[in-house]
Amino acid sequence: MAAPNCVFCKIVAGKIPCLRVYEDPSVLAFLDIGPLAEGHLLVIPKDHAERLEDMPTDILAHLVRQLPPLARAVLKVTATDSYNLLQNNGKTSGQEVPHVHFHIIPRKAADGLGYRWLASSYPAGRGEEIRRQLVAALA
């Protein structure tokens, strides 16, 4: 199902052009219009879902199965051996387009993109408490 005013639903419907790389009945992959690097791909479900956890799991599983061949094609064409897979959910995470999408971003040495990984650590007992809450939330 398409959502009105969703830019990626409009791309799926062909109402907004894109540079299509792959499609099948439920998945579309196309070049990001604002690439972080040449070959930066977006991989989306054709049916609208805002966030990963909103997606039917069979469609999600099918989409994820398409990622390795797409990543291999990106690596081959961009002549590198590295990429980031990025999937944002929610505004605070950086999600600008509220239609699930996976970024495949090829990386090269000295590409200047950098990587913010501001690792911290748990104070004594806090990791155990968070683990307890997560396990309870899964029940």
Site for Zn ion, rule CB under 5 A: 3, 6, 8-9, 48, 99
Instruction: Print the SS3 string covering 80-110.
Output: CCEEEEECCCCHHHCCCCCCCCEEEEEECCC
Task: Please identify, using beta-carbon distances, which residue of 68 and 91 lies nearer to ligand 5GP.
Answer: 91
Per CB under 6 A, does 34 bind ligand 5GP? Answer: yes
CA–CA distance, 90 with 50 (Å, rounded to integer): 9
Q: Which two tokens stand for residue 60?
A: 């999600």
Which of residues 2, 59, 67, 97 is near ligand 5GP by CB under 6 A?
97
Contact region with ligand 5GP (CB under 6 A), list: 32-40, 57-65, 106-114, 126-134: 32-40
Per CB under 6 A, does 60 bind ligand 5GP? Answer: no
User: Within a 10 A sphere around the Cβ of 89, how many other Cβ atoms?
Assistant: 15
Per CB under 6 A, does 18 bind ligand 5GP? Answer: yes
Looking at residue 47, the DSSP 8-state letter turns out to be S
- Cite the active site residues: 101
- Interacting residue ranges for ligand 5GP, rule: CB under 6 A: 7, 16, 18, 30-34, 42, 88, 94-97
